[in-house]
Amino acid sequence: MLEKHKKLILLGIIIIGFALRYYGALNCCVVWDERQDFISVREISLNLKHLHMPLVDTRPEGSPMAGNYLIRAGWYIFGDNLLGARLPFVIIGTLNILLIYFLAKMELGVMGALFAASLLATCQFNLTTSRIADNTNSAILFITIISLWLFYKALKNSDEKLFLINGIVIGIDFWFREDMLFLIPIYIIFLAVCPKFRFWLRNKNLWISFFISLLMALPLIYFSLDPAATRFGYIRDESIFGISLNGIGLYLGELILLAIKPFPKLFNYVAGSLDYENTMVNFALGILILISVIKSIRNRKPFIKMLLVCFLFYFLFFSFIRRNNIIQSFWALGSLDWSCISIIPGIILAAYMLEEFSKKQRRLSYFICGMLLIFMLIRALDITIYPLNGYFPRREYLLRNNYFISEADDILRKGNNEWGKDMLEKVYQATNKFPKYKKIAALKLARVLIKEARYNEAKMYLNYVFSQDSFNREAVMLRRELENKCFPTQ
């Protein structure tokens, strides 16, 4: 039955995943990385007379530019606006659902693959990061899945050419973010602990593929030596060895914060170290992944062992790396998104555990798996409709909205009304549960719309302000101005 309708079920999962990400892209206000990246994207010029295609951005940390070229492509194809910048990442985030299905299907079968696709489609962390123009997640997970597929396919089919292709894939992803190179020691460790495939460590094409990856990374290493953009020095200085909540925080961060909420000082410290700008995996999926990892430790299947090595490497490494300044340093290795690659093997291991459970307890598994997926879908819908609910603690993250509004003011003063209004509308839409910020955005939108003679739209925003504060002085003045425009005195 499942085999017969697998294509239809998979299509439904992909449609749900795309809808959540697309609506999230429409509904979410501008975030920190987008504001910074858009500056670098504006510097890209594809005009042959004024060709300028930088490999690293102009910020102090000198980040790789691959993600910014995706933003530029989005503006070219979908329009120069916030949604246009985000759509490439929405599409890639949706393709990841399809790719994880094929990766899981290699060894887990149809049911396990469908579980993996469902979990990724509704994963809170992946949803919130694939709805924005952020190269650190959608694109990196996309290439990670391809790399894991190529590597295991090469082992399974004894196809050495796939090693070389995988080397190029890892090298490409290095230009999105450098942590992709960690896959090289992960593959070496896996081959060393897996007797069935250990002989591959003597294969020259395997080592050539690693050399290709490093060779493709050399230009970025060269640029990092520039005193004005010392990328690796910046990361090194902002990161220190020390016990960190980074690994566990990505999976159980919500539960940790809820448990210490009665202790304000401890709560603020831990919330800062968990990095409130990045949302966490919801606790149900987090618990499921950690349980599945523990259960998989004794599993002898090579595919499961490869996923386990990949997960544990990232989990352990980023549990001993933290930010030097836990409040202000967002580019250090201690930020949550540096360990996000572990989500892919974690989800597949969780899907494998669910599949094994469904074979032993078919009726009970239908109920438990059904309730899990319903819970995750509800959470996914919540953060899609109310984007700030994806960031915990919300109140801390919300303070940044004042900066979003002031930046929109600057853009409006420069004459880019459509872009400025788009930013204000995102703040207005994202703050349904926080009337104070919604009111500020509504007033600014009303003022702009009155100047553009779009009176009915301006009236709608003013009506919202009056519903919250019937004696708001600025709203009263704008209403008088609106009435004079609509009904000028003779």
- Residues 317-371 have pLDDT tens digits of 888 877 665 444 445 566 677 778 899 999 999 999 999 988 888 778 888 888 9
Element spanning 322, H or E: strand 321-323
What is the token pair recorded at 333? 């290795």
Residues of the chain above pLDDT 90, percent: 36
Distance CA 100, CA 78 (A): 27
* Ranges 233-247, 249-263, 475-489: which has the least confidence: 233-247
Backbone angles phi, psi at 136, to 5 degrees: -75, -5
Distance CA 458, CA 447 (A): 7
Backbone angles phi, psi at 133, to 5 degrees: -80, 75
- Residues 107-153 have pLDDT tens digits of 998 999 999 999 999 999 899 888 888 766 788 899 999 999 999 99
Distance CA 274, CA 326 (A): 9
- Average confidence (pLDDT) over 403-423: 75
Yes or no: domain 400-486 corresponds to CATH 3.30.450.90: no
What is the token pair recorded at 426? 């995102």
User: Where in the sequence of the chain do the CATH 1.25.40.10 domains occur?
Assistant: 400-486
- Is 73 or 413 the better-scoring residue by pLDDT? 73
Extract long-range pairs of 409-418: CB within 8 Å, 24+ residues apart.
409/444, 412/448, 417/448, 417/452, 418/81
Identify whether 393 is preceded by a cis peptide bond (ω within 30 of 0). yes
